[in-house]
């Protein structure tokens, strides 16, 4: 028990005092860029050669080195740095040959840049339902797969579906899989890095993801054709020989006059900032997961609150945590959010009628209309989300969990 008990004179009900502990941390405050990254960025700025193809005699650009290192980290043959995670997805779709009017499957629960990337190619997003485990509903996928050429699989909030079954379904149907790994950089499924199951893996290095260059993206693949096309698409001009991990020149020869330049390169400044972060990534993943486990532990057994099961086959990155208030009324959920916010704990609710700040639900993307999905709607109405930045200490995380537990409990008991 924590917090003192007071009597509400109006109702005669006892409840935990909201005057008790208040969390003072900032949910959007990331750690600073590592000192080595700052020094490398200064060197790039002093050189004046920020454009990735602007190299001195014999010099290898920071961008090319980052690509080489990220390919090595994931075990991919090729890596291409780009302007954003959303750009990486659209580039991947074009590189695998998606054409205007094509049906492209994707998650009903993801972030706006995912259906946005599909729409930007002129293709039509077709949404697949979400389970209570917050992953793509593989039974629903099977019913929708006919006639689709491609699936953009979003590992939304770091939840990995049964990747073995997913790949079986997609391989059997001849559907190309592009993985959105914005929340799974550093994660694995049965020992295979996220992004290495499908034909292409796409990552974001935007400030709120696992490496921070403000904006930025990475695309990996083992496929010669996809790699060459993605490189040309990203805006390589005819300078693709300045990449370190790229297909042979003959592969480019065959496609270079037929592949449009949809300019979206990464630059040396971002790459310089990212390289030391990549070297630290696994250590950072461990720190995220320490924080995640403290919050998860603190919320365990809270009446009315459902934690999300993390399958044993996956190594996740706990940079955010989700739980469900399944079948709660909208008013009660809003009450929990308001009470937590009053105590400094910022929760996001994906279930509100009007999207707040961002959109994560299929019914918010009306340029891609979909029939209602009642089972998914039930889950989406109950999803609560919270960021866990590394600037929080383990004690911060324990306190946050105590606050959520108390406020969910108070509203639940009042139910």
Interacting residue ranges for ligand PLP, rule: CB under 6 A: 84-86, 110-111, 113-114, 154, 156, 180, 182-183, 204, 206, 217
The answer to whether residues 305 and 325 touch, using CB atoms and an 8 Å cutoff, is yes
- Our measurement of the distance from residue 279's CA atom to the centroid of its chain's CA atoms, rounded to an integer in Å, reads 20
CA dist 340 and 345 (Å) reads: 5
* Nearest distance in Å: CB 319, ligand PLP: 10
* Nearest distance in Å: CB 406, ligand PLP: 30
Task: Give 218 or 411: the residue with its C-beta nearer to ligand PLP.
Answer: 218
Task: Give 181 or 245: the residue with its C-beta nearer to ligand PLP.
Answer: 181
* Nearest distance in Å: CB 347, ligand PLP: 17
From residue 74, give the alpha-carbon distance in Å to each of 30, 171, 410: 24, 22, 45
When CB distances to ligand PLP are compared, the closest residue is: 85
Task: Give 208 or 412: the residue with its C-beta nearer to ligand PLP.
Answer: 208
Distant-in-sequence, close-in-space partners of 35: CB < 8 Å, separation ≥ 6: none
* Nearest distance in Å: CB 112, ligand PLP: 8
Task: Give 113 or 235: the residue with its C-beta nearer to ligand PLP.
Answer: 113
CA dist 126 and 147 (Å) reads: 11
Task: Give 116 or 409: the residue with its C-beta nearer to ligand PLP.
Answer: 116
Which long-range CB contacts under 8 A does 295-301 form with residues at least 24 apart? 295/321, 295/386, 295/388, 295/397, 295/398, 295/400, 295/401, 296/321, 297/401, 298/397, 298/398, 298/400, 298/401, 298/402, 298/404, 298/405, 299/323, 299/401, 299/404, 299/405
From residue 273, give the alpha-carbon distance in Å to each of 183, 216, 278, 311: 19, 11, 9, 33
* Nearest distance in Å: CB 203, ligand PLP: 8
What SS3 state is found at 360?
coil
* Nearest distance in Å: CB 60, ligand PLP: 25
Task: Give 92 or 408: the residue with its C-beta nearer to ligand PLP.
Answer: 92
Task: Give 50 or 134: the residue with its C-beta nearer to ligand PLP.
Answer: 134
The burial of 252, by beta-carbon neighbours within 10 Å (0-12 exposed, 13-18 middle, 19 or more buried), is given as: buried
The burial of 369, by beta-carbon neighbours within 10 Å (0-12 exposed, 13-18 middle, 19 or more buried), is given as: exposed
Q: What is the DSSP track for 316-352?
A: ---SEEEEE-TT--HHHHHHHHHHHHHTT---EETTS
| Count of helices and strands (H, E) across the chain | 12, 16
Task: Give 170 or 185: the residue with its C-beta nearer to ligand PLP.
Answer: 185
- How far from each other are the two terminal CA atoms of the chain, in whole angstroms? 20
* Nearest distance in Å: CB 201, ligand PLP: 12
Task: Give 15 or 197: the residue with its C-beta nearer to ligand PLP.
Answer: 197
* Nearest distance in Å: CB 191, ligand PLP: 23
* Nearest distance in Å: CB 83, ligand PLP: 8
């Amino acid at each position: 028990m924590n917090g003192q008990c007071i009597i509400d004179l109006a109702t005669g009900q006892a409840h935990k005092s909201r005057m008790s502990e208040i969390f003072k941390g900032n949910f959007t405050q990331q750690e600073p860029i590592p000192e080595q990254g700052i020094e490398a960025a200064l060197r790039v700025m002093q050189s004046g050669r920020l454009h990735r193809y602007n190299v001195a005699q014999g010099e290898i650009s920071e961008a090319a080195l980052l690509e080489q290192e990220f390919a090595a980290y994931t075990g991919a043959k090729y890596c291409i740095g780009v302007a954003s995670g959303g750009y990486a997805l659209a580039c991947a779709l074009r590189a695998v040959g998606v054409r205007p009017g094509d049906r492209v499957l994707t998650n009903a629960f993801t972030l706006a840049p995912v259906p946005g990337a599909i729409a930007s190619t002129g293709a039509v997003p077709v949404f697949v339902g979400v389970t209570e485990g917050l992953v793509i509903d593989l039974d629903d996928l099977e019913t929708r797969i006919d006639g689709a050429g491609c699936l953009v699989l979003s590992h939304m909030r770091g939840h990995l579906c049964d990747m073995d079954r997913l790949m079986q379904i997609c391989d059997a149907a001849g559907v190309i899989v592009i993985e959105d790994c914005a929340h799974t950089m550093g994660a694995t499924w049965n020992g295979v890095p996220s992004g290495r199951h499908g034909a292409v893996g796409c990552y974001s290095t935007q400030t709120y993801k696992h490496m921070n260059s403000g904006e930025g993206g990475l695309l990996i693949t083992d496929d010669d054709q996809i790699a060459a096309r993605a490189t040309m698409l990203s805006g390589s001009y005819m300078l693709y020989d300045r990449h370190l991990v790229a297909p042979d020149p003959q592969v480019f020869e065959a496609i270079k006059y037929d592949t449009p330049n949809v300019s979206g390169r990464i630059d040396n400044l971002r790459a310089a900032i990212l390289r030391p972060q990549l070297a630290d990534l696994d250590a950072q993943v461990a720190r995220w997961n320490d924080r995640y486990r403290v919050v998860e532990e603190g919320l365990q057994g809270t009446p009315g609150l459902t934690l999300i099961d993390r399958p044993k086959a996956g190594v996740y990155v706990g940079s955010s945590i989700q739980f469900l208030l399944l079948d709660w009324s909208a008013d009660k959920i809003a009450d929990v959010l308001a009470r937590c916010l009053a105590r400094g704990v910022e929760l996001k609710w994906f279930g509100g009628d009007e999207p707040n700040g961002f959109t994560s639900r299929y019914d918010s993307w009306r340029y891609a209309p979909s029939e209602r999905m009642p089972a998914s709607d039930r889950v989406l109405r109950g999803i609560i989300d919270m960021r866990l930045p590394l600037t929080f200490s383990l004690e911060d995380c324990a306190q946050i969990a105590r606050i959520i537990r108390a406020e969910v409990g108070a509203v639940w008991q009042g139910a």
